[in-house]
Amino acid sequence: MRFHCWLMRFMHCLMMMYYWFMRFMHCLMMMYYWFMRFMHCLMRMYYWLMRFMHWLMMMYYWLMRIMHCLMMMYYWFMRFMHWLMMMYYWLMRFMHCLMMMYYWFMRFMHCPLMMFYWFMRFMHCLMMMYYWLMRFMHCLLMMYYWLMRFMHWLMMMYYWLMRFMHWLMMMYYWLMRFHYWIMRFMHWLMRMYYWFMRFMHCLMMMYYWFMRFMHCLMRMYYWLMRFMHRLMMMYYWFMRFMHWLMMMYYWFMRFMH
């Protein structure tokens, strides 16, 4: 276009500059607008991720409280069992004292002494059974103890894994521009998490069957105690009968004398 006036040429130049400046500004505004929409999307994703992580931590917290409660119940149960065993121990010492008195009294009579001898052999057999039962129970308790240590170690691994995951999520947030390689790395982490959860499920099943086995052993122990009680009552009535015989023998000797 030709202008015959320098003023018109100058004005046309200014208008063109203004026009291209406006187009450039419009382009910048659009870039800013879509950048803000993308950032808003990222912030919402981070927000829901944090809510989910908080929910996981609360689940872990209540699990630990339940486990602590179970451990305390087990602790007081063991204290009570120890008290019962000590009562049984002093009863046995007292019974041993009575047996020794009975022994020095009965060595003047051959037949009751032989009966007493075979009875003591039978009692010794029962005591050895009880001794090996206690050794076996101790073995089971130590197994349970090391299982709990191992479970604690797994929980700590899980805890540090969660801290590591949180750190990775923050890295992911700040490094979104390297999308492809981060996605590959995250896929690998998800696979690790998946196998870790399968392993934890396996451990929980082992723990469940171990508890069923312990319940079975406790029932066996209960019936053993009932059987021991029956033997003690038989022993009691046998001693009363022997005392009656000794009295008859005593008055008979006096009479004969």
Confidence tier at 63 by pLDDT (50, 70, 90): very high
First-to-last CA distance in the chain?
164
- Of residues 207 and 115, the one with the higher pLDDT is 207
Residue ranges in the chain assigned as alpha helix (H): 6-106, 110-174, 179-256
The verdict on pTM exceeding 0.85 is no
DSSP per residue, 88-107? HHHHHHHHHHHHHHHHHHHT
Confidence tier at 175 by pLDDT (50, 70, 90): confident
b/e string for 160-177 if b means 16 or more Cβ within 10 A? eeeeeeeeeeeebeeeee
Confidence tier at 168 by pLDDT (50, 70, 90): confident
DSSP 176: T
What token pair was written down for 132? 């090996």
On the question of pLDDT at 103 being above 90, the answer is no
Measured distance CA(183)–CA(176) in Å, rounded: 9
On the question of pLDDT at 161 being above 90, the answer is no
In degrees and rounded to multiples of 5, residue 4 shows phi and psi of: -90, -5
Which of 52-56, 127-131, 220-224, 239-243 reaches the highest mean pLDDT? 52-56
Q: Which of 6-15, 45-54, 66-75, 126-135 has the lowest mean pLDDT?
A: 126-135
What was the pLDDT predicted at 242?
85
Please say whether the dihedral angle defined by the alpha carbons of residues 70, 75, 76 and 81, taken in this order, is positive or negative: positive
What token pair was written down for 242? 């022997």
- Of residues 183 and 60, the one with the higher pLDDT is 60
Whole-angstrom CA distances from 217 to 17, 188, 223 are 94, 44, 10
What was the pLDDT predicted at 44?
94
Average pLDDT of every residue of the chain: 87
pLDDT, tens digit, 9 for 90 and up, residues 16-27: 999 999 999 999
What token pair was written down for 83? 């008290």
Portion of the chain with pLDDT greater than 70, in percent: 94
What token pair was written down for 114? 């032989």
Beta-carbon contacts of residue 231 (< 8 Å; ≥ 6 apart): 126
What was the pLDDT predicted at 1?
54
What was the pLDDT predicted at 109?
59
Q: What is the dihedral of CA 61, 62, 63, 68, to 10 degrees?
A: 90
Measured distance CA(57)–CA(47) in Å, rounded: 16
What was the pLDDT predicted at 142?
87
pLDDT, tens digit, 9 for 90 and up, residues 241-255: 988 988 998 898 888
On the question of pLDDT at 111 being above 80, the answer is no
